[in-house]
Amino acid sequence: MLELWDAYDNQFNKLDNIVLVRGDEIPDGIYHLVCEIAVRHTDGQYLLMQRDKKEAFWRYVGINRRWLRIKRRTPLRMCC
């Protein structure tokens, strides 16, 4: 199944006539959105996650999780 992304210009205007496909080259001047979150507990501690061992730099730990904007989903919807 293809992962499709909405396309935007450099002013965050959605370009309805362009659909981006994961793995395809993105033309200059065209962008897609990425949502990132950091999970903070009520005691002030942050949730840390180790990268998948199949990925590059798997020994690293991060505080955020990144989601690529899937077509037709808002940034808030991607983070919930």
Q: What's the DSSP call for residue 2? A: -
Reply yes or no on whether the pLDDT at 3 is more than 80.
Answer: yes
Cα dihedral sign, 70-73-75-77: negative
pLDDT tens-digit series, residues 27-75:
999 998 887 777 888 999 887 777 677 776 656 666 655 555 567 777 6
What distance in Å separates the CA atoms of residue 23 and residue 3, rounded to the nearest whole number?
A: 9
Q: Is the pLDDT of residue 15 over 90?
A: yes
Residue type, 26: I
Rounded to an integer, what is the distance from CA 5 to the centroid of its chain? 10
69 φ, ψ to 5°? Answer: -70, 110
